[in-house]
Amino acid sequence: MIFMLLFIAITTCITMSLKTLFKPNKIKGKMLSFENFLVLAVVYTIITLGFALIYLLFDIQGYLIVRDGFITEADGFWMRLESSFYFSAMTLFSVGYGDIYPMGIGRMIAVFEALIGYTIPAAFVAKAVLDR
């Protein structure tokens, strides 16, 4: 039950963060302004943290994340959180070193996160150009 509530809360935060890119008249002025940079940085941070928490929830539920080729169920909470955050950032920014990878449903979540990572810059540029 708590798992589902946390999952819904996290996905709501991610959705609300992405929504800021598509709201009219939110990002105004120059394309390269401090406000635009700040909005983009906040959106990326919220999405990275949100997906990291989703990976952490699934890792705690037993859908393991593989680190360095080894399944590490015995890792403590902070190691799992660190690995989840690292994996989320590498997926969102399309780096994907391959040292950490998900199993099971985590693969579909990673695909969705990578898709978001590809579309954020395009949405941001389109929004800035259209507002200009």
Mean pLDDT of the chain: 80
Sign of CA dihedral 24, 27, 32, 38: negative
Asked if pLDDT for residue 27 goes beyond 50, the answer is no
CB 88 within 8 A of CB 51: yes
Confidence of residue 69 (pLDDT cuts 50, 70, 90): low
| DSSP secondary structure, 35-86, as one string | HHHHHHHHHHHHHHHHHHHHHHHHHHTT--EEETTEE-TT--HHHHHHHHHH
Asked if pLDDT for residue 71 goes beyond 60, the answer is no
Confidence of residue 36 (pLDDT cuts 50, 70, 90): confident
Confidence of residue 26 (pLDDT cuts 50, 70, 90): very low
Q: What six digits make up the tokens of 78?
A: 């902070």
Q: Which residues contact 2 (CB under 8 A, 6 or more apart)?
A: none
Domains of the chain (ranges, CATH numbers): 32-126 (1.10.287.70)
| 3-state secondary structure at position 99 | coil
pTM for the model: 0.76
Q: What six digits make up the tokens of 100?
A: 């950490």
Q: What six digits make up the tokens of 9?
A: 């809360």
Q: Which residues contact 28 (CB under 8 A, 6 or more apart)?
A: 35, 131
CB 105 within 8 A of CB 7: no
* Residue matched to tokens 């990673």: 110
